[in-house]
Amino acid sequence: MQQTLDEPSPAQAMLNKVPEVTIYFWIIKILCTTVGESLADYLNETLGFGLTKTTWVFAAALVASLVVQFRTRRYIPAVYWLTVVLISVVGTLLTDNLTDGHHVPLWTSTTLFASLLAIVFGTWWLREGTVSIHSIVTAGRETFYWLTVLVTFALGTATGDWTLELTGWTPGVSVLLPLALIALVLVAWRLGAGAVICFWLAYILTRPLGANIGDYLASTKADGGIALGTLGTSLIFLGAILATVAYLTVSGRDRAPA
């Protein structure tokens, strides 16, 4: 029988390389996006590392993590979520470099990354016949997946920053918009909207949500935050990520069926 696009050959196939989409998935995803914002700001601004050096350091770390991730034949929580943390930082830095380093307007960055995301999704669909994360069982699909994740982080950063620029909201108030939009996506999914499109919409929206939470925690009280600082915020959320990943590694609660 002729093989379809959705059925990789035994030589190509591996166990699904991403976790099940459970409450733990979304908790760690938001924690990772917050770390991506606060850790990048800490190295870039507080330590005076600068955008260029910070970008190169995290890009190199991301490449190393991706090499390990691609070499595995199944989902390993520690490797997968380390890659997400690093890709969240790199995605943030892509937008920051365009905005601060090259003075590209945020509306331009938002348009650019939205167009790039549409191209990646379109190519992924035409090549594989699916953009579902439950089908990440070949190296080709995994490549599309991680490229999509990187672009969603960059897009979420640009969109979130542009929204703040337009509204002038304080960090605390800014949390409410992405939270409300995620709630609408959840309602739409419950009412029968496509699971795949709802997943990716929520995935994009968790980026500005996590970033705004990070800004709220790190900002001074005079700026409407609670003054934990970028280092304090990063350490708290990294600790929460480590604890959750350790629990999932032992319990296997987020492993997809073979």
Q: Identify the burial level of 67 via C-beta atoms within 10 angstroms of its C-beta, where 0-12 means exposed, 13-18 middle and 19 or more buried.
A: exposed
Q: How many CB atoms sit inside 10 A of residue 106's CB?
A: 20
**Residues 191-209, mean pLDDT to the nearest whole number:** 92
pLDDT band, very low/low/confident/very high, at 2 (cuts 50, 70, 90): very low
Tell me: pLDDT of 160 over 90: no
Buried residues in 38-60 as b, exposed as e (16+ CB within 10 A): bbbbbbbeeeebebeebbeebee
| pLDDT mean over 115-123 | 96
Give pLDDT, residue 248: 93
Work out the average pLDDT over 58-69. 95
| Mean pLDDT (the chain, rounded) | 87
Helix pair 195-218, 139-167: axis angle to 10 deg: 50
Res 167 pLDDT > 50: yes
